[in-house]
Structure 1
Amino acid sequence: MESMHNDVTATGHAARIATVDALLPAPFPFEVNGDATVLSAQVGATGAAGLATHTELGADSPQSIWRALAEHRLEVQLAGPDPAAALDALLTRWDEHLRTLARPGDPECAAVLSRPSRDTAGTAELLRHGFAPAGVIAVRPAQRMAAPGPAATPGVCIRHATPDDLDTAVGLMLELQRYDAQFGRVTVRPGAEEVVSKELLRQLERPEPQVWIAELYGQPLGMAVLQMPDETSWIKHRVAASRVGYLSSLAVAEAARSAGVGTALAAHAHQVFDEAGADVVLLHHALANPRSTPFWYAQGYRPLWTGWQRRPAVR
């Protein structure tokens, strides 16, 4: 009976999401593996189903910079006339579930869920349950026009990075992480420099590294790291598109901000993606970041998925 109820919810959820945003992929019924748990709630004619999962990382894992070490996730499906009330009931059910699993007050344990950004039903309920919108997966369709600006930024030269740029690249990435750590998505850990150095060196030693350096009057002051469409299988399921580019990071030294370096790097990245035949480009950014949020939307991006977080997961 539970399975049938969840199938009905999945079908109704898919029909509802199809009207929300044309770039959202079609959702599928939950696949329950390992210790995943399906939670459900019913409010009148509205059903809610959630797939609750749990993952843990060591503090030395490269991914640990971008999340809490223990993460409880909920994938949500809503169907019926009152999705906000059904989500409220499902979150209450999830809270009960989390209290059996998570240690209260643990800052390295987070409760996380992603919602389509334009599916705003239930936003007030998420806030009441103590969740905050922490990050966004933003999307930019190919050939999208950015805000008008100069065709080129005087004094800025963009070139392929080489292994000789490693120290510059690491410095820019660590500066970016320290700034982003203020907004809840990034946790700067003791081994961050070593993790960043290893990953950037791996990128720089590739035959055709997609790491680009921006020089302002000869000084390397900005960097962009790209993932081309044949490398993005880990995220392409989040968007209804065949060829998906991913902009891993764009960093500009504080001394060069507002000088056009970031805009020049973004324009160059989009040209590279267009030449590779990308239908869309995705990126993550911290929603509360007062620099990145207006910057990316001026470059033609818009929010596709919003990541909500409560950390600690149980207070």
Structure 2
Amino acid sequence: MLLTREEMGFDFKGAKFDRVKDRDLLAWIASQFLYGEVTGIQVGHWILHAPDVESAKFLARQCIEELQHVDVFMEFFKWLDARPVKVHPVVRFLSAESDDWAEHCALEMAQGEGFVLMIFYAIINCIDDEKLAKRLDAAARQEEGHVEFGEQQTMKALARNPKLRKRLLGLHLLSLWVIKRFEKWIGKRVDQDHAVMRQIPEYLKTIIATTDTRLQRIGMTSKPLSEYGRFETFRLITGAVTRKALRKLMFWRWFRKKRLTHTYLHDEYLAEVMKLAEIENAAGIPVIKAA
């Protein structure tokens, strides 16, 4: 990867989640992860757009790894004795399917899986179960490979077509804007005396700083994101969003059948964990139960 594990880490100062007291909160967090892994399973269709055999081979392997990660989080839910809930709409938005190969590599793999990887590191450090932490660490190391692939493919795409830079940067800026507001929304609802959760604002700053560094090393931007003025940021985001909105209006996109991301909670594969105890409230965060 363009960043080391140390650069992407955060010191929670020994704070840990309590398996019993934080059960519902951990189940909510794991539910967001589970959705992300299911979107990863669907990476297979990008093989049709792979620029070379090596990329297609990587995607085929990634699909299997994402399925293995689903198994890891099923074990996580059993450890908690809690069933998954529906993904939060913001996470669904951030995981939305890309429009082309460059967008997939830049937004879903380099940035999206980069976010996921940092949260993997945080969960590993903040749960008090060595066996489960080792399984999560193994999954995290596979995610590192996904991030690296996204970074390398993004750099190749930018080298082939430098004009992509402006659109992709606009989408990156939009994602960061959404994440900042999501963090504030969560912060208003969770217990600020919680040893882990009270550190989330500082943790978010680390995520943003890491993303900023990655974008500069990829060559997406030649200056820190903090140097972009409001008007320039607005212009980049508006340009990128307008293009995506116009593509959504294409009539043949209205008739897509439901994908696994819409049906996974009712899938027979998850039947065992869906029989576990329901959660009612994730430490103040409203939960959306599976119908």
Which gives a bigger RCO, structure 1 or 2 (Cα 8 Å, sep 6+)? 2
TM range (shorter): under 0.3
TM-score (normalised: structure 2): 0.28
Specify which structure has the higher proportion of helix: 2
Greater C-alpha radius of gyration:
1
